Amino acid sequence: MGGIGIALLASACSSGGSPASTTAPAASPAAPTTAPTVAANPTAANQATTTTKPTAAAAPSAGRVTVTFTVPGGQAENSDFKPVFDAFAKEYPNIDAQYAPFNTGYTPEYMQKLLTSIAGNVAPDVFKINPSPYFGTLANQGTLYELDAFVKADSTIDFADYFTPHVEACQYKGKLYALPNDGAPQAMWYNVDAFKSAGVELPTKDWTWQNLLDAGKQLTKTSNGRPLQFGVGRPDWLSWVWSNGGDLLDADGLKCVLDTPEAIAAFQWLQDASTRSKVMPSPADLNQQGDLFTTGREATAFGVRGSLGTYRDIKTFHFDAVQLPKGQKGRVAQLAIGYTSLWIKTKEPQAAYTVAAFVAGKEGERLRISRGFAFPSRKSLVEQDWFQKYKAPMSASFGINTAFADELLADEARVWPVHPKGMQIQDAINKQIDFLWDGKKSAPQIATDMVAAVNEVLKR
């Protein structure tokens, strides 16, 4: 397994970045002054001598045991997890649950650090997998602990209450290798004040790509040829492909199909918006100007509800969220999953599961998400007032909560396919994706090159 882990690490380090749709905006890496107690380094690097499946879920080992829990982390996320681990400490005094973020934010550095810890046998006991393509790869290589026996013995886990896509996404070859502690589909965020100032009607759930483009042209502002405000943020390309009737892989996961007319048309729309209509920022614009939406230089942005971890601090304009605009085949939003997995070599699997189950449980999710970060994986939670009526200081309506739930409830969300080579597939695509935005290759050529690169991965 070590050799595979090292190979994954090398590929992760060379990756062009994760799919934008599977991550929340990166939080500031600075640790908050009220952050929970943080372990200096994950200490669960203990050599496991067995992979025996547990037969009970919640009972910790005799005596007090230590379990490390790792997420990307940053000021906002660390603060939001603090009440979760405070509550856990009171309920489970025999488990020393150490919140041990890498403080990378949701950047490629997070998985690089996690893969390094796995390859070096110093991985945390429990960790979040992000972005989504890594889940199938890690499950396939034997890095993750199978959770079915735990869940069967745990009365607090009722999968009927979870959104079905969240549960299905956590399974690999029919077995459960993660608990979903959160997860939202892509939606569109927008600057309400920018729309009103330009005299553009606010977006609705019935918007199409054409509505978005028309509005984007009115919202884009320049001065002496230099952009002052972009009308359209960079959308998630896979959501666009799906909404136009295309797909990433065939039904058997053996062939890349991004060169179909439907997929190419989606790529063409995105490229034209960026390079011809120029309503969308180029790679150079993104590299030079920081976060465009929060600074009022982008009228729309695309992302998950985890974006609220950043957007709730906006002070200069009102904002809101709405479902993605529709393509030729309707709306299909890529769904990000908060994969919470156990390391196969944890010395304390029962205690580690107890931590994971609490974080993904009703109270664990409520304590964190009620502060305005992320989206519940449980249907019952999105029906409660603390979620539906959450309001940030500058949010214009409760659409910042309900837009994401409405997509899920309408069966308009899909997960990146769980595939044993998911990470390598992502890496192959990332090497081509910037050409979509800068126009240095045509959309058909990009599709052709993506297919060739992905199919080469699938043959190995």
- Which one, of 34, 38, 168, lies nearest residue 102 by Cα? 38
**Which two structure tokens, joined as six digits, stand for 93?**
């005094």
Q: What confidence score (pLDDT) does residue 290 get?
A: 75
Statement: residue 324 has pLDDT above 50: yes
pLDDT band (50, 70, 90) for residue 225: confident
Question: Averaged over 419-444, what is the pLDDT?
Answer: 96
One-letter identity of residue 359: V
Inter-helix orientation angle 443-459/422-438, to 10°: 170
Percent of the chain past pLDDT 70, that is, above it, reads 86
Q: Where are the beta strands (DSSP E) in 345-442?
A: 413-415
What tokens were used for 202? 């606010």
pLDDT of residue 246: 98
* Strand, helix or coil for residue 167: helix
Look at 22 and 109; give whichever has higher pLDDT: 109
What would the mean pLDDT of 311-333 be, rounded to a whole number?
97
pLDDT at 62 (0 to 100): 62
Read off the tokens for 436: 């979509």
Token duo for residue 243: 């909404």
Contact between 391 and 405 (Cβ < 8 Å): no
Amino acid occupying residue 427: D
Instruction: Please give the Cα distance from 220 to 299 (Å, whole number).
Output: 8
Q: What is the mean pLDDT of the chain?
A: 88
- How does pLDDT run across 376-405, given as a tens digit for each residue? 999 999 999 999 999 999 999 999 999 999
pLDDT in tens, 19-77: 433 334 433 333 333 333 334 333 333 333 333 333 344 444 568 999 999 999 999 89
The residue type of 270 is L
Pairing of strands 65-70, 319-322: unpaired
Contact 290, 207 (CB under 8 A): no
For 289-310, how does the pLDDT look when each residue is reduced to its tens digit (9 = 90+)?
A: 679 999 999 999 999 999 999 9
CA separation, residue 195 to residues 141, 219, 233, 298 (Å): 48, 7, 14, 11
Residue 86 has pLDDT above 60, yes or no: yes
pLDDT score for 287: 81
pLDDT of 226 strictly over 90: no
Instruction: Give the Cα separation of 174 and 165 in Å (integer).
Output: 14
Cβ atoms of 379 and 161 within 8 Å: the answer is: yes
Is the pTM here over 0.85, yes or no?
yes
Q: Give yes or no for residue 1 having a pLDDT over 80.
A: no
CATH numbers and ranges of domains, the chain: 2-184+337-396 (3.40.190.10), 187-335+415-459 (3.40.190.10)
pLDDT in tens, 398-429: 999 999 999 999 999 999 999 999 999 999 99
Mean pLDDT of 100-123: 97
